[in-house]
Amino acid sequence: MKALVVDDSMTIRRIVIKALALVGIDETAEAADGVEALAALAGGSFDLILMDWNMPKKSGIETLKELRKQGNKTPVVMVTTEAEKSRVIEAIKSGANDYLIKPFSPDQLAAKVKNVVPVAAG
């Protein structure tokens, strides 16, 4: 299983990748914004996307909407500081499969991942 981790913070990408290992997802790629994410998705397929909301160049919500418009059905978990109910609703309506608010624990992220994809461990 391969995951794409999209966040402009290298620190958060490290933390997310470490948490993914808890559920047996060791194959990961990284993108620092929506533009990089779309390029990565155009160049290969993924089983899961972890997506930040606030990023330079192209935000996570814009990227999500564009992906779904393209017909890309890869499960997306938004991982973001945007905690307002209206933001969560907007993300789900735009095609997000689940939503995780920062700050988060590795166990919380693992639980969200297990909600949207079949994982081997954890």
**How many residues contact other proteins, by CB under 8 A?**
22
Q: Is 57 in the site for other proteins (CB under 8 A)?
A: no
Interface with other proteins by CB under 8 A: which range of 37-45, 64-72, 98-106, 113-121?
A: 98-106
Contact residue for other proteins among 83, 89, 92, 121 (CB under 8 A): 83
46 versus 61: smaller Cβ distance to other proteins: 61
What is the chain's alpha carbon radius of gyration, rounded to the nearest angstrom? 13
74 versus 112: smaller Cβ distance to other proteins: 112
Which residues, in sequence order, are bridge partners of residue 31?
A: 6
Which residues, in sequence order, are bridge partners of residue 79?
A: 100
User: Could you tell me the sign of the dihedral formed by the alpha carbons of 33, 100, 67, 54, in that order?
Assistant: negative
Interface with other proteins by CB under 8 A: which range of 21-29, 40-48, 69-77, 96-104?
A: 96-104
Which residues, in sequence order, are bridge partners of residue 77?
A: 50, 98
Site for other proteins in 35-54 (CB under 8 A): 54
Helix, strand, coil in percent for the chain, rounding step 5? 45, 20, 40
Strands (E), 7-118: 27-31, 48-51, 76-80, 98-101
Site of interaction with other proteins (CB under 8 A)? 8-12, 14-15, 18, 54, 56, 80-84, 86-87, 101-105
